[in-house]
């Protein structure tokens, strides 16, 4: 499918050329079947959306939907999140969504958690100053971990935070779209955690 990229070369700074416009670029990391990416693209045509994941069999569902519906502002990138900066130029991305990532509960796998400092260091290389970072998860331990990390991360400001999203007054894309997992958790009465942060940029290096 022409809107599915697998380890493409020479893409940093070229996504606007692919989409044929200069609309803001929104990224979903660990997109799974792509349901959230597709939902965003359909509801908010004023941006372009890319879902990223390593598992192509899952991504096929969203990619097929995009093809069949003729959606022009959505694409998919098959890659490991650890390599994300390979495919985007500094400041090329306006928003990054992390939706229901694997909580990686074992302490030894802390570096594998998508909201961890290790991944924040990657996200903020491609996220523009003033760009936003979002997290949705049913896992309260992962959310507590992410909150602790994001609160002290240089240049990142948490602007919305809830341990029960659908009981809060938060609206917009956070509640307008639900993943398959999210629907399942809500049906079981499990609250959804949500956090939104603004990246103000890294401080400039001191002059020598």
How many domains, in total, are found in the chain?
Answer: 1
Q: Is residue 28 part of a domain?
A: yes
* pLDDT score, position 205: 56
Q: Is residue 204 part of a domain?
A: no
**Contact 182/33 with Cβ under 8 angstroms?**
no
Per-residue pLDDT tens digits for 123-170: 999 999 999 999 999 999 999 999 999 999 999 999 999 999 999 999
* pLDDT score, position 30: 92
Q: Is residue 188 part of a domain?
A: yes
Catalytic residues: 102
Tens of pLDDT along the chain (208 residues)?
889 999 888 899 999 999 999 999 999 999 988 999 999 999 999 999 999 998 888 889 999 999 999 999 999 999 999 999 999 999 999 999 999 998 888 877 788 899 999 999 999 999 999 999 999 999 999 999 999 999 999 999 999 999 999 999 999 999 999 888 899 999 999 999 999 999 998 776 566 6
* pLDDT score, position 201: 86
Give the integer Cα–Cα distance in Å for 178 and 60: 18
What's 93's domain CATH number?
A: 3.40.50.150
Distances, alpha carbon 148 to alpha carbons 116, 120, 152, 170, 207, in Å: 10, 13, 7, 21, 31
The percentage of the chain sitting over the pLDDT mark of 90, rounded to a whole number, equals 81
Give the integer Cα–Cα distance in Å for 23 and 73: 9
Q: Is residue 192 part of a domain?
A: yes
**Contact 150/158 with Cβ under 8 angstroms?**
yes
Domain that holds residue 113: 4-199
Q: Is residue 8 part of a domain?
A: yes
User: Residue 55: which residues within 8 A CB-CB, separation 6 or more?
Assistant: 32
Q: Is residue 206 part of a domain?
A: no
Q: Is residue 207 part of a domain?
A: no
Q: Is residue 137 part of a domain?
A: yes
């Amino acid at each position: 499918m022409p809107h599915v990229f697998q380890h493409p070369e020479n893409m940093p700074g070229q996504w606007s050329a692919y989409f044929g416009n200069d609309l803001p670029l929104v990224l979903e990391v660990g997109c799974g079947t792509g349901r959230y990416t597709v939902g965003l693209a359909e509801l908010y045509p004023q941006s372009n959306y890319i879902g990223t994941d390593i598992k192509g069999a899952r991504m096929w569902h969203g990619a097929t939907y995009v093809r069949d519906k003729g959606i022009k502002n959505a694409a998919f990138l098959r890659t490991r999140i650890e390599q994300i900066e390979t495919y985007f130029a500094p400041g090329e991305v306006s928003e990054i969504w992390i939706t229901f990532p694997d909580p990686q509960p074992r302490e030894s796998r802390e570096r594998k958690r998508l909201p961890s400092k290790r991944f924040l260091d990657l996200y903020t290389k491609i996220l523009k100053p003033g760009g936003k970072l979002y997290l949705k998860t049913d896992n309260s331990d992962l959310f507590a971990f992410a909150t602790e990390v994001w609160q002290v991360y240089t240049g990142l400001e948490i602007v919305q935070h809830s341990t029960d999203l659908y009981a809060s007054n938060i609206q917009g894309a956070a509640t307008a779209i639900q993943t398959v997992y999210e629907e399942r958790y809500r049906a079981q009465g499990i609250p959804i955690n949500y956090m939104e942060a603004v990246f103000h940029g890294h401080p400039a290096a001191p002059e020598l």
